[in-house]
Amino acid sequence: MQRFVNDPDYIVDDMVKGFVKAHEDLIVKSEKNDRVVKYKNAPVEGKVGLVTGGGSGHEPAFLGYVGENMMDAAAVGEIFSSPSAQTFYDAFLEADAGKGVACLFGNYAGDNMNVKMAIRKAGKKGVEVKMVAATDDISSSPKETKEKRHGIAGGVFMWKIGGARAALGGSLDEVIQSAQKAVDATRSICVGLEPCTIPAVGHPNFNIENGKMEFGIGHHGEPGMNVQELKSADEIADQMTEAVCEDLELARGDETAVILSGLGATPVMEQYVLYGRAEKYLERKGIHVYRAFVGNYVTSLDMNGAALTIMRLDDELKELLDYEAGCPGLTVKAK
């Protein structure tokens, strides 16, 4: 394993330190909890607080989506594992300005359990917290049990939409409603070409054979829909776009926002190759891309692979997507 790492058991600490230093114009560490980072102006007076969180190794997620008109605080877990309930709770308190807190996270079992415990604890302290879980990964559960699906890069749209609604003065219920609307309108699919290695383990926890690819792989190596022969970029992009379009029931005339995210070790050049073909597929189906994002938005350590995320837009989602935002993971300028 050729990696930039010190003691692998402390890589999350090292990462958080570097992150806070790099983004000190936007981000500060909580004084109460080393695993909570917050927007330097949080809690923002008069605004609903916004919190996300999850395991590390997905940078810039989750902490990179803290910033202006985005999340107010993030709870940082160990690699691929949930932050503790206490950490989510501390993040809620950092974000709360008395208008309640929306917790927007990724629907993994550990996160779900800890977020709910933290919500109960916050309730006892008089801080109202409501939650939305992203469920965009279509490979993680069948359509009939969509509520069990995991969140991957679709979380970025949930955070962007929820963040804008809160910035526009939305109440807690309105923020929850808009974030849920983004989740309902968003689907993703992931393809893995080479596995990732947890630094403290030192070798991949799963295997992708040379000449093969795993279609629908999860962000921690969860088995996908199937293992296939490695195909051309165009064939892969077509297959990904088709799967997302079908699940989201996209139709001619629909407007969309699209993310093509690398998974950590995917060259930027190849991300654009995939994106170009995905948009071509959509064009052929008469589906318009209103905004596109290509880059490392949600990663999995050093996994070689890509995720395609599509959100169907309506006027409300478009307005919220276009609302100015600035955080390490994403900058949006008003159109």
Q: Which residues are catalytic?
A: 58, 220
**Torsions phi, psi for 306 (to 5 deg):** -150, 150
Total residue length of the chain: 335
Residue 204 interacts with a second copy (CB under 8 A)?
A: no
Residue 145 interacts with a second copy (CB under 8 A)?
A: no
Site for a second copy in 151-180 (CB under 8 A): none
Residue 193 interacts with a second copy (CB under 8 A)?
A: yes
Residue 334 interacts with a second copy (CB under 8 A)?
A: no
- Preceding amide of 328 cis, omega within 30: no
Residue 144 interacts with a second copy (CB under 8 A)?
A: no
Please identify, among the stretches 106-114, 172-180, 244-252, 285-293, the one whose residues bind a second copy according to the rule CB under 8 A: 285-293
Cross-strand pairs, 39 = 27
Nearest distance, CB of residue 258 and a second copy, angstroms: 8
Q: Report d(CA 105, CA 91) in Å as an integer.
A: 13
Site for a second copy in 216-235 (CB under 8 A): 230, 232-234
**Torsions phi, psi for 207 (to 5 deg):** -130, 140
- CA gyration radius, the chain: 19
Minimal CA–CA distance to 19: which of 35, 7, 43, 3? Answer: 35
Site for a second copy in 29-68 (CB under 8 A): 56-57, 59-60
CB atoms within 10 A of CB 38: 27
Residue 284 interacts with a second copy (CB under 8 A)?
A: no
Minimal CA–CA distance to 172: which of 74, 266, 269, 46? Answer: 46
Identify which of residues 6 and 171 has a Cβ nearer to a second copy in the complex. 6
**CB crowding 74-102: b at 16 or more within 10 Å, else e:** bbbbbbbbbbbbbbbbbbbbbbbeebbbb
Nearest distance, CB of residue 170 and a second copy, angstroms: 24
Size of the site for a second copy (CB under 8 A): 64
Identify which of residues 11 and 93 has a Cβ nearer to a second copy in the complex. 11
Three-state DSSP state, 268: helix
Nearest distance, CB of residue 60 and a second copy, angstroms: 6
Q: Which residue among 130, 165, 277, 312 contacts a second copy (CB under 8 A)?
A: 277
Q: Report d(CA 157, CA 93) in Å as an integer.
A: 24
Identify which of residues 92 and 293 has a Cβ nearer to a second copy in the complex. 293
Chain residues in the site for a second copy (CB under 8 A): 2-6, 11, 14-19, 21-23, 25, 56-57, 59-60, 193-194, 208, 210, 213, 230, 232-234, 236, 260, 264-277, 279-280, 289, 291-296, 299, 301-302, 304, 306, 326, 328, 331, 333, 335
